[in-house]
Structure 1
Amino acid sequence: MGKLVRDKIPEIIRRDGQEPAVTVLAEGEYRTALVAKLFEEATEVSEASPVEVAEEIADVYEVLRALAAVNGYEWAAIEKTAEAKREERGGFRDRLYLA
């Protein structure tokens, strides 16, 4: 089974002397693949060491940017929405856990 990869991965595979089997996804398939990739990357964040966690968070960030774009949003609009939600409902800084 395949998976969504970053744009330059096929080029890197070719440089290593292999020929990747690559398909360009239709928009609906792309959205589905991005959501699956988000779960994959979130799992990697949960399993990352303190040294690796920044790189894994960067991967989640890149997937979120792509999800915003495929749904017609500029990243600045997502940040504005996040700020409004933070103003209204707060963030997660206080580490509150509702039991």
Structure 2
Amino acid sequence: MPTYNKLVRDKIPEIIENAGKQFDIHIADTSEALSLLEAKLDEEVLEFHQDKNLEELSDILEVIFSLAKSLGFSEEDLLNKRLTKKEERGGFDKNIVLEKVYE
């Protein structure tokens, strides 16, 4: 019997139950949830490094939205901040590599 002790998407218990399996879960408090979301982000980024596909990118985005929510920010807050920073500092579209800054 595998032991996971990791954060899973909200419908995973229902999916496991529909498969006729039993499981144990608990609901994380705010502090534990933040720590688990940070670990989940690391997990999803690692999976993206391995598979480099849209599904893994969407998993990363979902974790980031959940992290923002746990810190008191909405998805809209996060997306607005992204746009503001892109307007002020640009994006990463041009693949510019900074090598040196001379003083």
Using the size of structure 2 for normalisation, the TM-score is 0.87
1:8 equivalent in structure 2:
11
Deviation at 1:98, TM superposition (A): 2.7
For 1:80, give the aligned amino acid. Answer: N
- Tell me how far apart the structure 2 counterparts of residues 31 and 24 of structure 1 sit (CA, whole Å): 12
1:94 aligns with 2:94: yes
Deviation at 1:96, TM superposition (A): 1.7
1:80 equivalent in structure 2:
80
- The structure number with the bigger radius of gyration is 2
Residues 1-99 of structure 1: pairs in structure 2 closer than 5 A: 1-49=4-52, 53-99=53-99
Runs of 4+ in 1 over 3 A off after TM superposition: none
Identity percentage of aligned residues: 38
Gaps of 5+ in 2: none
For 2:41, give the aligned amino acid. Answer: L
Using the size of structure 1 for normalisation, the TM-score is 0.90
| Corresponding pairs, count | 96
Which digits, 9 at most, give the CA deviation of each residue in 1:29-78, with x for residues without a partner? Answer: 000100110110011111115xxx11111111111111111111111111
What secondary structure sits across from 1:84 in the alignment?
A: helix
